[in-house]
Amino acid sequence: MRYTVFVDESGETGVYKVRNENTPGASPYFVMGAAVLQPASSIVARKRLLDFKSTIAKSKWKHATDLAHNEKVLLARTLGKLPVRYFAVISNKATLKEYKDQIGADPHKFYNKCLKYLLERILEYLSTKGLNEDDLSVILERRNHDYDAMIRYFETVKHNPMYRQSKVFSNFNPFCITTRQKGEEDLLEIADFVSHAVYQLANKTQANFAIPEPRYFCEMSSRFAGDEKCNILGTGIKCIHSLAQLDLDDDVAKLLRDAKCQAAASYRNHS
């Protein structure tokens, strides 16, 4: 069975200078989100996206931030009913410290590392479904990035995994990774909103009165990947490197600890 992974991110990749209450800079958090679709579910997803755009009378947008709150809630509810699986990686840059020094605060290397974590979760999840090297395609939103270095990085990870969890790359072809501009591929809008929904669990600014917004994630949570007990945390969502290190509000941390997905058997029946 073929799978296509659509990947997008929320927040900036910059790690050298991170903004706080008094200093401008890159976002304190970075989230990378993915939507994993099979051919049949891609058809369903495109139709539901088209219906959503017709309902709100907007045919396109560049980012989820272009939508109003009520439009986001409707989109989240729509995406929460699709026969797909979602994944996300979330990083609190304040905890990078030694790693930031190791990579020379290179945002390209930070992006690649987060993508590795994301693909590890996806590959491990799909490995139980008899995934072959030719069964997977990964589509990223095109950005200012050194993609040649990325491919070399994943070649190294594949042939010389340093960590146990990276062994899932043994059946991964780094050249399955391609890029598309926003507007070239509608299904990237789903990945964009997955990352946005998770980012809003941590996002606290003057504009939102330092109040995170969990509604979007709650509407979609049943479609995130989960373990055999349907727990999302650790499977559909990876925290770098722990939930505690994210320093989320207590109610948001509890939401992630308690989040459950729709059972895999039910997912297969809707694929």
Q: What is the pLDDT of residue 133?
A: 85
Instruction: Kindly give the confidence (pLDDT) of every residue in the chain, 271 residues in length, as a single tens digit, with 9 standing for 90 and above.
Output: 799 999 999 999 999 999 987 888 999 999 999 999 999 999 999 999 999 999 999 877 778 989 999 999 999 999 999 999 999 999 999 999 899 999 999 999 999 999 999 999 999 999 888 888 889 999 999 999 999 999 999 999 999 998 999 999 998 999 999 999 888 999 999 999 999 999 999 999 888 999 999 999 999 999 999 999 999 999 999 999 899 999 999 999 999 999 999 986 544 433 3
Q: What is the pLDDT of residue 265?
A: 53
Residue 53: domain span:
3-269
Does residue 174 contact residue 154 with C-beta atoms inside 8 Å?
A: yes
Angle, CA of 243, 244 and 245, to the nearest 5°: 90
Angle, CA of 77, 264 and 244, to the nearest 5°: 70
Q: What is the pLDDT of residue 266?
A: 44
CATH number of the domain that residue 109 is part of = 3.30.420.10
Which tokens belong to 189? Answer: 């809008």
Largest separation between any pair of C-alpha atoms in the chain: 51
Output the pTM of the full model: 0.95
Q: What is the pLDDT of residue 40?
A: 96
Does residue 235 contact residue 121 with C-beta atoms inside 8 Å?
A: yes
Cα–Cα distance measured from residue 229 to residue 220, given in angstroms and rounded to the nearest whole number = 18
Cα–Cα distance measured from residue 89 to residue 129, given in angstroms and rounded to the nearest whole number = 22
Q: What is the pLDDT of residue 56?
A: 94
The residue length of the chain stands at 271
> How many separate domains does the chain show?
1
